[in-house]
């Protein structure tokens, strides 16, 4: 536990990390705030429409008569959950396939890589459009998350496989073997530290991709836009022509939120990657003493 | 003999930042030396003693986190003085390859892998001279012949050559324009023994024919015995002994040099030898006084407190030790 | 432990899909390592010594031939992996890549003790570790809590040897253990191997390209060249008076740390190693100063000269 705290404070030195963590914490807190919402996001026309920000409604109301601020809390919550599901799911597949392929080699490797290549060349966006339109009624958020995840593992599976292939040949693997370590001890103790940058980078990238896809699909109307998400906020805002009508509070909310979310995730990825890069870690281990 | 390069009171440290702490690694700590024309100067010492850094400083290759904290390097080439440390990169480029050359460690990987050898040589020649292409080609080929390297190597890519051949090609590249001073960092390390001999012989040949100054850094005393006319022994960033090669081998004065010479296995001798006890100090955390005192069998109170200076105790023989002359 | 290598052959396939060639890395090699003996396998890079080591450690499969440990075939011995690894240990060439930079070095020591059941409690384990560390001239406090990057090459190599000793092995394969260590620091590590043999009776396969350390420490010596053993016998005898022209070349090429000593002639180097591997007769023929016409035609057999094995037509 102490180590994790020390890790956190070490990374906190990086300005980018400060920004990322601050913004993300704020956004997550906003999502949690949704529990206390006095309004049900599924009920429309409960408030006067298109009211600019006031003391009662700090981000104003939109064309469907909903409080934008509280709607935002739900939207953030759902988008973040969606992103996390997609990221976790795609990482699990990528790591499993990458490791099995790299470590076992032979026929297993060939079969798994054929599968990976198949997924890699699939045109994700058209397929997402197709799938969404076909099963729109069943397209709850978790399902959407899984579908996006299913298209996001192929590239990193190959990367992880290559890393395992090279790590397998290192001299320290021989040392581990002669120290009596079993296969899983070798995999977790020797390989995983090198894989963490790829995995964490991939995780955040996957989240960003999922949020992005959801926004685009929603704007085009391919998801269930009655469910409050960041994408559906964009959808209704465009649908009701808020820009033309000058309802700037309705237009800016999803845009600014999306910008903060993406920049925070990106800078988090940058600072984590730099911190976890084996080369900089080496420098730190020596220099601290 | 004329002095071709003089270095005075060089101090070069690596500054490593971690969080808000900065550690300084004192790789070169108050080193003064000079090189004559037409000599081979060997810099000896263990890994991590700072000899590679010293070479970089002498060549003018000082990049962060390395910083020159004190001292100056002055070259006297063709009657002109060049203050290496105050020259801009453009000015340095003008004298590099042509007057001063550097063969870095692991130089086999220095060759551009996507160009043929001939092309690599051409690039260097065209950059530093005004020779025409034909002149350059004939110069390259006659140089290879003079060195005993097969001319067909010129039409190969670096990866097609063996490690030893790549090393020799790199040395040829560094010397094709007949520079006055050549710095070589561990030119024979990581090479097989027979290939090592080929490289040593090549360096000897180049020195004999071009009559230039060769400065060789290596931990291998056998290489120094074959090539160097003078040897400087480094320890913990400092020069602790300097003398002519014969003197160093026959009459090493500093306790560290004595361990160095006596610990080498030789044919015909299977008697048990002892290496230097203990381990070299970390350059970030040097002991007080003489840096060798924790490992020295004859260390005294004064050795722990005060750093000895490099002083001439016999003709052309300098040592940095308080106890020189005590134990023979 | 006695180790017998009989007619060992290892062939690699090299080249692209369009031109597959067979590279004979090890060509019908046989030698015996006696109990409590230091056997040195010497040669330059590409001669097959590292591949031989890998086969003896069960990390590579031979194409032909067999290896016997105290009479038991390697194939059978390796089946009980933990038992094999307990008796046969290794010290690798590069101390900087022997340990994973993300692991503390003590992890390797403790894991070795625990996995091979050399101790039952943590205290017992610590005592065993201290014991082996003192054999190599270190103590636990010096290594406690530290990562590989905090040590010098010499220290890492010592730790590597200590780790190998924890299982009380009978056979140690040391693959160029001092090649990556400064020449001036080699002697203390090489002395360790001498100690291991004299104090614990461990048989050691000492692989090297540096004949001067082989002279200093080995009982028996085999010189390998491009996959074959060209000379084999008592180490001191071979290096005092080498018979095979390649051995003579190897010995004379060592830069003797004596400024009075001079090489008498310049040598020729091959520009690519592949050429020699695929030569028809004796592989050394193209560089041999004593080459005869028969040398280029057929591969010389092994001749016995006063108890020494020499693979050279000069000794017919």
Give the closest residue to A47 by CA, choosing from A29, A27, A62, A32. A62
Structural contact between residues C158 and C192, judged by C-beta atoms closer than 8 angstroms: yes
Nearest CA in chain C to B221: C257
Cis ω on the peptide bond leading into residue C29 (within 30° of 0)? no
Mean pLDDT in residue range B15-22: 76
Contacts of C182 in chain B (CB under 8 A): 46-47, 219
The verdict on a CB contact (< 8 Å) between A13 and B23 is no
- Helix %, strand %, coil % of chain C (to 5): 40, 25, 35
Q: Which domains does chain B have, with CATH numbers?
A: 3-219 (3.40.50.300), 229-265+288-327 (no CATH)
Chosen from B167, B197, B208 to mutate, greatest number of chain C CBs within 10 A: B197
**pLDDT tops 90 at residue C8:** yes
pLDDT-derived band at C315, boundaries 50, 70, 90: confident
Q: The sheet that has B311-314: what strands, in order across it? A: B100-103, B181-185, B213-217, B40-44, B230-235, B238-244, B317-319, B311-314
φ, ψ for residue A49, nearest 5 deg: -80, 155
The token pair at A112 is 């798994």
Give the closest residue to C296 by CA, choosing from C307, C314, C283. C283
**pLDDT tops 60 at residue C271:** no
**Secondary structure (3-state) at B29:** strand
Give the closest residue to B194 by CA, choosing from C176, C94, C255. C255
**What are the tens digits of pLDDT across the range A113-152?**
999 999 999 998 898 888 888 887 788 888 889 989 999 8
Helix H or strand E encompassing B16 = strand B3-18
User: Using CB atoms and an 8 Å cut-off, which of residues 188-217 of chain B contact chain C?
Assistant: 188, 192-198, 200-201
Contacts of C270 in chain B (CB under 8 A): 162
* B55/C266: higher pLDDT: B55
CA-based nearest distance C169→chain A, Å: 11
Q: Which of A172, A174, A194 sits opposite C59 (nearest CB)?
A: A174
Q: B269: which residues sit within 8 A by CB, 6+ positions away?
A: none
Q: Which domains does chain C have, with CATH numbers?
A: 1-217 (3.40.50.300)
Chosen from B44, B152, B264 to mutate, greatest number of chain C CBs within 10 A: B264
**What are the tens digits of pLDDT across the range C42-100?**
998 878 899 999 999 999 999 999 999 998 999 888 888 889 999 999 999 999 999 99
Instruction: Tell me whether C212 touches chain B (CB under 8 Å).
Output: yes
Q: Which of B194, B272, B280 sits opposite C152 (nearest CB)?
A: B280
pLDDT-derived band at C268, boundaries 50, 70, 90: low
Q: Which of B162, B220, B279 sits opposite C272 (nearest CB)?
A: B162
Contacts of A194 in chain C (CB under 8 A): 102
Helices vs. strands in chain B: H and E counts, helices first: 10, 12
pLDDT-derived band at C296, boundaries 50, 70, 90: confident
The verdict on a CB contact (< 8 Å) between A179 and C163 is yes
Q: How many CB atoms lie within 10 A of CB A172?
A: 24
- At residue A4, the pLDDT reads 77
Q: Which of B163, B197, B265 sits opposite C253 (nearest CB)?
A: B197
Angle at B139 between CA B134 and CA B141, to 5 degrees: 95
The verdict on a CB contact (< 8 Å) between B193 and C269 is no
DSSP state of C121: S
For residues A250 and A242, give the distance between their C-alpha atoms in angstroms, rounded to a whole number.
7
The verdict on a CB contact (< 8 Å) between C184 and B276 is yes
**What are the tens digits of pLDDT across the range B208-267?**
988 999 999 998 888 999 899 999 999 999 999 999 999 999 989 999 998 888 888 777
For residues A53 and A67, give the distance between their C-alpha atoms in angstroms, rounded to a whole number.
10
User: Using CB atoms and an 8 Å cut-off, which of residues 234-293 of chain B contact chain C?
Assistant: 245-246, 249, 259-261, 263-268, 270, 272-276, 279-280
For chain C, the average pLDDT equals: 88
**Secondary structure (3-state) at A139:** coil
Class of residue C28 by CB neighbours under 10 A (exposed 0-12, middle 13-18, buried 19+): middle
DSSP state of B50: S
**What are the tens digits of pLDDT across the range A58-79?**
999 988 999 999 999 999 999 9
**Secondary structure (3-state) at B232:** strand
DSSP state of B69: E
CA-based nearest distance A269→chain B, Å: 19
For chain B, the average pLDDT equals: 86
Helix A68-104 vs helix A230-239: crossing angle, to nearest 10: 130
Angle at A119 between CA A117 and CA A123, to 5 degrees: 115
For residues B324 and B308, give the distance between their C-alpha atoms in angstroms, rounded to a whole number.
11
Chosen from B279, B280, B294 to mutate, greatest number of chain C CBs within 10 A: B279
Helix H or strand E encompassing A212 = helix A192-219
Structural contact between residues B78 and B22, judged by C-beta atoms closer than 8 angstroms: no
Structural contact between residues B40 and B228, judged by C-beta atoms closer than 8 angstroms: yes
**What are the tens digits of pLDDT across the range B86-134?**
888 888 888 888 888 988 877 667 788 899 999 999 988 888 888 888 8
Residues of chain A with pLDDT under 50: 287-289
Mean pLDDT in residue range B181-194: 86
Nearest CA in chain B to C216: B270
CA distances from B132 to B112, B122, B123 (A): 22, 10, 12
Give the closest residue to B259 by CA, choosing from B327, B188, B160. B327
CA-based nearest distance B199→chain A, Å: 29
- At residue B328, the pLDDT reads 42
Rounded to two decimals, the pTM is 0.82
φ, ψ for residue C304, nearest 5 deg: -95, 120
- At residue B327, the pLDDT reads 47
Nearest CA in chain A to C159: A175
**What are the tens digits of pLDDT across the range B63-88?**
888 889 999 999 988 888 888 888 88
Instruction: Tell me whether A284 touches chain B (CB under 8 Å).
Output: yes
What would the DSSP string read from start to end of B256-300? HHHHHHHTS--TT--S-----SS-PPPTTSPPSSSTTGGG-TT--
Contacts of A288 in chain B (CB under 8 A): 18
**What are the tens digits of pLDDT across the range A168-179?**
989 999 999 999
**What are the tens digits of pLDDT across the range C128-187?**
999 999 888 888 998 998 899 888 888 899 999 999 999 999 999 999 998 888 877 888
The token pair at B302 is 């004064």
Q: Tell me, what's the ipTM?
A: 0.88
Nearest CA in chain C to A177: C85
């Amino acid at each position: 536990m102490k180590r994790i705290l020390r890790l956190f404070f070490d990374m906190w030195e990086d300005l980018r990390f400060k920004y990322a963590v601050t913004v993300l914490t704020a956004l997550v807190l906003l999502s949690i705030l949704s529990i206390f919402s006095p309004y049900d996001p599924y009920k429309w026309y409960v408030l006067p429409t298109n009211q600019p920000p006031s003391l009662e409604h700090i981000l104003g109301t939109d064309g469907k008569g909903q409080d934008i601020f509280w709607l935002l809390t739900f939207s953030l919550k759902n988008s973040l959950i969606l992103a996390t599901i997609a990221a976790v799911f795609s990482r699990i597949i990528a790591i499993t396939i990458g490791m099995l392929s790299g470590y076992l080699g032979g026929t297993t490797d060939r079969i798994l890589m054929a599968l990976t290549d198949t997924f890699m060349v699939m045109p994700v966006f058209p397929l997402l459009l197709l799938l969404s339109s076909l099963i729109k009624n069943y397209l709850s958020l978790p399902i959407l998350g899984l579908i996006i995840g299913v298209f996001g593992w192929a590239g990193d599976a190959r990367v992880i496989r290559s890393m395992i292939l090279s790590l397998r040949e290192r001299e320290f693997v021989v040392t581990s073997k002669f120290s009596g370590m079993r296969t899983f001890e070798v995999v977790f103790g020797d390989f995983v530290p090198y894989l963490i940058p790829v995995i964490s980078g991939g995780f955040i990238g996957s989240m960003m991709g999922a949020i992005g896809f959801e926004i685009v699909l929603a704007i085009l109307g391919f998801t269930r836009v009655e469910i409050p998400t960041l994408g559906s906020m964009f959808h209704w805002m465009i649908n009701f022509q808020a820009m033309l009508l000058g309802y700037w509070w309705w237009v800016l909310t999803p845009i600014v939120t999306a910008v903060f979310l993406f920049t925070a995730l990106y800078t988090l990825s940058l600072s984590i990657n730099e911190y976890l890069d084996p080369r900089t870690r080496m420098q730190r281990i020596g220099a601290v003493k | 003999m004329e002095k071709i390069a003089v270095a005075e009171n060089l101090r070069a440290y690596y500054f490593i930042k971690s969080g808000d702490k900065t550690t300084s690694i004192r790789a070169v700590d108050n080193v003064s030396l000079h090189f004559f024309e037409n000599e081979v100067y060997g810099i000896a010492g263990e890994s991590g003693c700072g000899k590679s850094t010293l070479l970089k400083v002498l060549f003018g290759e000082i990049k962060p986190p390395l910083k020159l904290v004190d001292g100056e390097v002055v070259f006297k080439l063709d009657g002109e003085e060049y203050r290496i440390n105050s020259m801009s990169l453009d000015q340095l480029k003008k004298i590099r390859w042509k007057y001063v050359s550097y063969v870095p460690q692991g130089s086999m990987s220095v060759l551009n892998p996507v160009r043929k050898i001939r092309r690599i040589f051409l690039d260097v020649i065209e950059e530093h001279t005004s020779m025409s292409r034909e002149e350059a080609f004939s110069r390259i080929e006659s140089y290879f012949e003079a060195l005993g390297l097969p001319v067909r190597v010129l039409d190969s890519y670096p990866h097609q050559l063996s490690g030893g051949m790549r090393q020799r090609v790199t040395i040829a590249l560094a010397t094709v324009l007949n520079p006055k001073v050549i710095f070589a960092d561990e030119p024979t390390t990581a090479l097989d023994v027979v290939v090592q001999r080929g490289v040593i012989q090549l360096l000897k040949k180049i020195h004999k024919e071009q009559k230039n100054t060769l400065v060789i850094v290596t931990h291998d005393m056998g290489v120094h015995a074959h090539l160097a006319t003078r040897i400087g022994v480094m320890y913990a960033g400092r020069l602790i002994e300097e003398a002519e090669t014969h003197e160093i081998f026959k009459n090493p004065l500093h306790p560290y040099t004595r361990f160095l010479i006596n610990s080498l296995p030789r044919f015909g001798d299977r008697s048990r030898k002892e290496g230097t006890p203990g381990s070299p100090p970390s350059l970030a955390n040097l002991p007080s006084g003489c840096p060798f005192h924790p490992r020295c069998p004859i260390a005294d109170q004064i050795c722990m407190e005060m750093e000895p200076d490099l002083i001439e105790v016999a003709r052309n023989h300098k040592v940095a030790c308080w106890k020189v002359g005590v134990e023979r | 432990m006695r180790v017998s290598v009989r007619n060992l052959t290892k062939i690699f396939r090299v080249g692209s899909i369009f031109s597959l060639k067979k590279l004979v890395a090890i060509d019908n090699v046989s030698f015996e390592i006696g109990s409590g003996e230091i056997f040195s396998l010497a040669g330059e890079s590409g001669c097959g010594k590292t591949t031989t080591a890998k086969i003896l450690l069960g990390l590579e499969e031979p194409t032909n031939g067999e290896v016997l440990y105290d009479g038991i075939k390697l194939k059978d011995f390796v089946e009980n992996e933990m038992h094999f690894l307990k008796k046969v240990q290794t010290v690798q060439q590069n101390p900087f890549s022997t340990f994973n930079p993300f692991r503390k070095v003590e992890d390797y020591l403790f894991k070795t003790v625990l996995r091979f059941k050399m101790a039952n409690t943590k205290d017992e384990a610590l005592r065993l570790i201290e014991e082996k560390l003192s054999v190599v001239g270190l103590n636990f406090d010096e290594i406690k809590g530290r990562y590989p990057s905090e040590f010098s090459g010499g220290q890492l190599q010592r730790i590597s040897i200590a780790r190998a000793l924890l299982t009380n092995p009978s056979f140690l394969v040391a693959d160029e253990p001092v090649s990556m260590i400064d020449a001036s620091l080699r002697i203390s590590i090489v002395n360790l191997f001498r100690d291991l043999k004299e104090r614990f009776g461990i048989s050691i396969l000492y692989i090297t390209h540096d004949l001067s350390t082989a002279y200093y420490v080995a009982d028996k010596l085999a010189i390998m060249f491009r996959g074959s053993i060209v000379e084999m016998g008592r180490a001191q005898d071979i290096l005092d008076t080498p018979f095979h022209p390649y051995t003579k070349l190897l010995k004379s090429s060592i830069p003797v740390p004596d400024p009075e000593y001079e090489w008498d002639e310049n040598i020729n180097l091959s520009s690519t190693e592949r050429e020699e591997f695929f030569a028809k007769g004796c592989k050394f023929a193209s560089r041999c100063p004593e080459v005869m016409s028969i040398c280029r035609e057929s591969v010389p057999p092994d001749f016995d000269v006063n108890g020494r094995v020499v693979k050279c037509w000069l000794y017919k």
